[in-house]
Amino acid sequence: MDLILSSKKADKTIVEVEGVGGYYTWSSTQFPVLSQKKIAAGLLVLQHRGFALPHYADSSKIAYVCEGECIAGLTSPEDSKEEVVKIQKGDTLPVTVGTVSWWYNAGDTKLTIIFLGESSEDYTPGEYCYFFLTSAAGMLNGFSNELIAKCFHMNKTESEKLMKDQSSLNLLIKINESIQMPNSSNSAKRKLVYNLDGAKPCVEVKNGGHLSSVSGKNIALLGEVGLSANRGVLEGGAVLGPIFTADSSIHLSYITKGSGRVVIVGLFGKVVLDTKVEEGELFFVPKFFPFVVEADEGGIEFFSLKTSSKQTYGELSSGKKSIWEAASPSILEASLNMTPDLIKSFKSKITKGAVIAPPSTI
C-alpha cells in the first residue's frame, strides 16, 4: 500500500483578500491520499463583515466552526428555498452537493470554518471544485448580454449593467454596513445545525478528555449523504485508542487546537505513521487501520470526518466496548500466550478503563 499519510497544513491559496479573508485547501499533489481516497478539505477564514459570495460545489461536506460567528445561507436545488442559519464555534452544518451557499462573518472577531467531505464526483479528485454565481469569475459571465437579457426578461441596458456591476467583485468581499443581512431561522437551525462543543459526550473521562459525535441520528441530511463527524478533546498526556473504523469507512481529521502525536498501524502490524501533529494540520487514517492520538502537555482538540453515516469504531483499547473485554478468557490465553492469572488481571484492568486513557500516574 503506497499511501503518504504524513500530516499537512493547507498549502494552496484559492483566494486571499487583504482585510476580508481567504480560502485555502490541501492540494492533491502535496497530499495525494486525498485524491486516492476521494476525500477533500478546505479552510475558510473571514474577517469582520467578510462575505463569501454565493456558490455551489461538486461534492458534499460538513462545515465545522473552529472560531467566530457566521450567518450562512443554503439553497437546495430540490426545493429552491433559502435556509438561513446563524452558527458559532462548535457548530456543524452539512452542505450537500449542488447546494448554493454563502457565508458571512457576523461577529467582531475572525471566523474560521473547516470543511471536510467526500470528493468521489469531483472534477479534480481530492479538491473541491466551486462554481460561483456572481463576481468576475461568476458563471453568468460566460453568457452574452443578449442571452442574459432574454433569460431574465431584461432590456439590453439592464443586462449590461447587471454584468458590469459584478465584474469587479472578488470571490470574497466586505459587506457594506448599509446592507441588512437576512434574518436567521430557528427552525432551519434545528434541522441543519448540531453543536459538537456543547453536545453530551459519548465518552468522557476525568482528567483524560471527551468525544462527541454527530450523525444521521442528529441531522437527517447526514444520513442521506453518508457522512458523520466527531470531535475529540484530550487533556495533556491523555491517549485516545487504539481504535479503527469498523465499517470500511475512512477517517480524516483536522487539528483545531494544541498538538500531539498520531500513530497508525497497518497490515501485519507495520507502523505506517508515527508523527507529531499540531493546530492547522490534517491527517488521514485508512479503513480498518488502528490508530492512537496522544496529547502533548498542552492538550489537543480535533474535528474528524467519517465517510459513513454511522459512528462505528472497533475498540482495541480499554473499556466496556473493548474487543479484548468481549473475548473469552480461554481465547485470550491462547492468543496472547499468557497464564490464566495474567489474563484475569488483564481483563480486570480493561474493564476499569475507557477508550480515552488519562495521563499515566505510574
Establish if 141 belongs to a structural domain: no
Asked whether residue 174 falls in the same domain as residue 203, the answer is no
Provide the pLDDT for residue 362: 47
Q: How far apart are CA 281 and CA 255, in angstroms?
A: 6
Asked whether residue 87 falls in the same domain as residue 47, the answer is yes
Q: Are the CB atoms for 346 and 352 separated by under 8 Å? A: no
Q: What is the DSSP string of 115-160?
A: EEEE-TT-SBTTB--EEESSSTT-GGGGS-HHHHHHHTT--HHHHH
CA distances (Å), 127 to each of 3, 26, 42, 104, 308, in order? 17, 7, 8, 23, 19
Asked whether residue 83 falls in the same domain as residue 221, the answer is no
Provide the pLDDT for residue 1: 44
Establish if 149 belongs to a structural domain: no
- In the chain, which residues have pLDDT < 70? 1-7, 166-169, 361-362
Provide the pLDDT for residue 2: 47
What residue type is 332 in one-letter code?
A: L
Asked whether residue 24 falls in the same domain as residue 116, the answer is yes
Owner of C-alpha cell 445545525: 193
Asked whether residue 212 falls in the same domain as residue 124, the answer is no
Owner of C-alpha cell 505513521: 273
Provide the pLDDT for residue 152: 84
Predicted TM-score (pTM) of this structure: 0.90
Total tally of structural domains belonging to the chain: 2
Burial class (CB in 10 A: 0-12, 13-18, 19+), 243: buried
Give the structural domain span for 121. 8-135+170-189
Provide the pLDDT for residue 4: 55
Establish if 92 belongs to a structural domain: yes
Asked whether residue 13 falls in the same domain as residue 125, the answer is yes
Q: How far apart are CA 299 and CA 297, in angstroms?
A: 6
Asked whether residue 119 falls in the same domain as residue 231, the answer is no
Q: Is the peptide bond before 242 cis (omega within 30 degrees of 0)?
A: yes
Asked whether residue 60 falls in the same domain as residue 97, the answer is yes
pLDDT tens per residue across span 19-33: 999 999 998 788 888
Give the CATH number for residue 42: 2.60.120.10
Q: Are the CB atoms for 323 and 316 separated by under 8 Å? A: yes
Asked whether residue 60 falls in the same domain as residue 126, the answer is yes
Candidates 62, 48, 53; CA nearest to 14 is 53
- 10 Å Cβ neighbour count for 241? 20
Provide the pLDDT for residue 77: 85
Asked whether residue 228 falls in the same domain as residue 179, the answer is no
Asked whether residue 220 falls in the same domain as residue 246, the answer is yes
Provide the pLDDT for residue 95: 95
Asked whether residue 176 falls in the same domain as residue 120, the answer is yes
Q: Phi then psi for 275, rounded to 5 degrees? A: -145, 160
Establish if 352 belongs to a structural domain: no
